[in-house]
Amino acid sequence: MHESDCRQWLALAECAGRLAVLKSTPAVNPPLPNFVLIGFMGSGKSSIGRLIAGRLGYRFVDTDALVVRRAGQEIVDIFATHGEAHFRDLETAALESLAGEAHCVIATGGGIVVRERNHALLRRLGFVVLLTATEDVIFERVSRNSKRPLLQTANPRATISEMLAARAPLYEAAAQWMLDTSDLSHREAAEALIAEARRFFSCESAR
C-alpha cells in the first residue's frame, strides 16, 4: 500500500463516529483498506460489520445481499432452484465485483472459504478477519432465523458441528487475524477489530 493511502486510511480510522468522505482507489497489491469479515453463520459478521462501518464512516457491503441483488432471487430460492454450486459461482462473482473498492466493511457468506480461489480475492480486498464463536453460541444465534438453507436439516445442531469441523482449516488458512465473539458485545468486538486493523495497515505500509 502506498504510504499516502495508508495515512488516509489511518486518518479515517481516527474519525470514528464521524462521517468521512470516501473515495474508491484502483486495485492495488498489497491489500486495499477494507475490512473483510469471514466466519461461520452466526459468528457476528453482519452485526459487527455494520457497527465498524458506522464508526468509521465506511460503506457496509454484504456479499449475500450482493448475490441476491445480482440474481434477483433470495438465497434459499437460489439453493432450491439451482443448487449450492451455482450459489458458490454467484458468490465468487460478487467477490470479484468488489475489486478496486476501498473503505468498505465487507461481510461475507459463511461458506466463502469453501472455494479456495476466493482466498486470494479476499486477501486482495483488505484485512481478512475471522470471527468465531463456540458451537453453543452459534447454535443459539442461528436458531433465531430459519432462512439458511444449509441448516434446514433434521438435526441442525449436528450439521453445525460437522460443518464447523470441515471448515475450520479453511477459515484459518484464509484469515489474517481472528477474534472469538462468543463473550463479546458487538461494540467490544468492533473496537478490538478497529484497533487491530490500525496495526495491520501500519505494518503493511512499512514493508
Residues contributing to the site for ligand S3P (CB under 6 A): 41, 64, 75, 109-111, 148-150
* Residue 35 to residue 206: CA distance in whole angstroms: 19
- Shortest Cβ distance from residue 115 to ligand S3P (Å)? 11
- Shortest Cβ distance from residue 88 to ligand S3P (Å)? 9
Q: Is the dihedral of CA 54, 55, 57, 60 positive or negative?
A: negative
- Shortest Cβ distance from residue 63 to ligand S3P (Å)? 7
Of the two residues 164 and 193, which places its CB atom closer to ligand S3P in the complex? 164
Of the two residues 28 and 150, which places its CB atom closer to ligand S3P in the complex? 150
* Residue 112 to residue 124: CA distance in whole angstroms: 14
- How far is residue 92 from each of residues 76, 97, 115, 200, measured CA to CA in Å? 17, 9, 8, 25
Of the two residues 14 and 83, which places its CB atom closer to ligand S3P in the complex? 83
Of the two residues 31 and 109, which places its CB atom closer to ligand S3P in the complex? 109
Residue 164: alpha-carbon gap to chain centroid: 17
- Shortest Cβ distance from residue 75 to ligand S3P (Å)? 5
- Shortest Cβ distance from residue 168 to ligand S3P (Å)? 13
Q: What is the DSSP letter of 155?
A: -
* Residue 78 to residue 69: CA distance in whole angstroms: 12
Of the two residues 15 and 150, which places its CB atom closer to ligand S3P in the complex? 150
